[in-house]
Chain A
């Protein structure tokens, strides 16, 4: 039940700072009070914050082994449907790049390649 109310709260939040959103929020609070469920509000707010955090974690990220790979990496990632504004430098990748967004991962890094070879050789 809390999940359903949280979805409603989420939908209201997506409307932004509009009059319609404020009105919807007030109606929701009235509804909860009428049914004796106003105690769910703090939990709903926490759940909303968790959802926002998860969304942010799922946001597109492109990592490159060196800054010189950044432009190419961003372009190739965009061609594959992962659009990010900037590329982060991660020397652990050794070479190449990798992109991660919303349940998709493209790994063209040296580290990924070496690990794949290691697993093939040792299994």
Chain B
């Protein structure tokens, strides 16, 4: 390994003075993370600039705090250029020299980012040293066109029964997770990451979790959980916590998308979770108001829709000619008091290919995940489902739909006819089957088999309140005594006739043992 001395000697030997003049400007005014720059007449929109702290300081002082402060050109005005400072705004002062870098804002990407926690500029924040990522990718890039894309046809299993059976997500899809605070949105996303551990390594998507405006303690807890469950090895965390400037919170999702695109362009699958875009919208509003852009509805700038649409359009399933890779996006939006008709939620709903709607009422009643399957939808649908899941999910949707219709009558259950009571009980049983613990994702073959058991009457002898316990015992039994059947379903991705026969035999055995005891 080259020593630092050797490296310095090499750089000194190779050093040549810069030919020609550099374009520079001067800070005219600064405040609230925005600097007004005099000069920089040829600066481009979206260009990175460097605030040169070293210009009027001695070499010794300059080396004491060498961390550069960058800015992003966002407003080109008649007499000045307005720049948003990317971290370290307290170091920017009036009269400071500003240099053009002539580069778009970029982030270092590479395989070496796996298992690391970085900020939106690619600087590691996990204390494990440099990431070693060399390739730079611009954080903003046009999305792939129509011709370069293929239909979404490969499932992305989240390990959550309610999602994989009724709101299936495909690789390359954008599926919104929306709900009030504390309804389990992040949990759904994290379970999706954890479940990828059950995928074979060559097909496992690289997961990128972008934490925007979150508490650092929450992100730290999440990183620890992923590490504990062995999921961190295929995950990259991009964090822009609530304590950083609005500019970093604004660019964080784009940085996550750039990292995901690196893997997609190599023909691999990637999953990016934006948690959450409501905070990015708030940060962008703050920046736009400070840049004196005219405010629109709810004081958001006029291009707030474009902010999210250009981000989410970068999720894609590429054609075979382009490598066949994919980038799946799970954006998260926080609603206020269940209002999905608010400005930002409706914007993002119209952009994405479906939404998973989490309700506070369901959460409080103990239904977890608190997914309202009635109004949640996946526009990709069964094109992103295995045959095994397609076979079993049709009936469960029907039974839950019937339950929803009869829900109003549930309070009169003692006065209802036996047929209606039976439907209500079946619906309640199905709802109980779909309940699942946090951080307990199931491999798809297990999900398919459990739902098969539920929809084929094997759990009808149990009360809805008993279902969670019975289901846990069923899973234990299947792992212990029906491993071959599960493997067959996993291998073929469907429940064939012979597999179904064997499965029914096993379920009969389970039922007889359980009812005996």
Contact = CB atoms under 8 A, between A and B. Distances in A.
Interface of A: 3, 54, 57-58, 80-82, 92, 94, 100, 102-108, 111, 113-122
A74 B155 CA distance: 69
Nearest to A113: B15
B505 to A, nearest CB: 64
Given A54-B28, A92-B59, A108-B17, A122 B66 contact: yes
Nearest first, the 9 closest Cβ-Cβ pairs linking A and B are A103-B39, A104-B21, A105-B24, A117-B11, A92-B58, A105-B22, A106-B21, A111-B59, A120-B11
Interface of B: 4, 7-8, 11-12, 15, 17-18, 20-26, 28, 38-41, 54, 57-59, 62-63, 66, 68, 78-79, 95, 97, 99
Contact of A103 (B25, B58, B63): B25
| Chain B contact surface mostly | mixed
Given A117-B12, A117-B15, A121-B11, A104 B22 contact: yes
A7 B41 CA distance: 18
B64 to A, nearest CB: 12
24 contacts: A3-B79, A54-B28, A80-B20, A80-B21, A82-B21, A92-B58, A94-B59, A103-B23, A103-B41, A104-B21, A104-B22, A104-B23, A105-B21, A105-B97, A107-B18, A108-B17, A111-B59, A114-B59, A115-B62, A115-B63, A116-B15, A117-B11, A120-B11, A122-B66
B108 to A, nearest CB: 10
B38 A54 contact: yes
B66 A119 contact: yes
Contacts of B97: 100, 105
Contacts of A115: 54, 59, 62-63
B38 A107 contact: no
A94 B23 CA distance: 23
B38 A58 contact: yes
Given A3-B78, A54-B38, A121-B8, 5 more contacts: A92-B57, A102-B39, A103-B25, A115-B62, A120-B11
A94 B63 CA distance: 14
Contacts of B12: 117
Given A92-B58, A94-B59, A119-B66, A113 B38 contact: no
A54 B8 CA distance: 39
A31 B414 CA distance: 87
Contact of B17 (A54, A58, A113, A118): A113
Contact of A118 (B23, B63, B78, B99): B63
B4 A57 contact: no
A81 B21 contact: yes
Nearest to B61: A92
Contacts of B62: 111, 115
Contacts of A105: 21-24, 97, 99
Contacts of B4: 121
A92 B57 CA distance: 8
A82 B22 CA distance: 12
Contacts of B17: 108, 113
A117 B7 CA distance: 10
Contact of A100 (B24, B28, B41): B24
B36 to A, nearest CB: 11
Contacts of B25: 103
Nearest to B26: A57
Contacts of B7: 121
Nearest to B22: A105
Contacts of B68: 119
A111 to B, nearest CB: 5
A94 B40 CA distance: 28
A53 to B, nearest CB: 10
A119 B4 CA distance: 13
Nearest to B16: A113
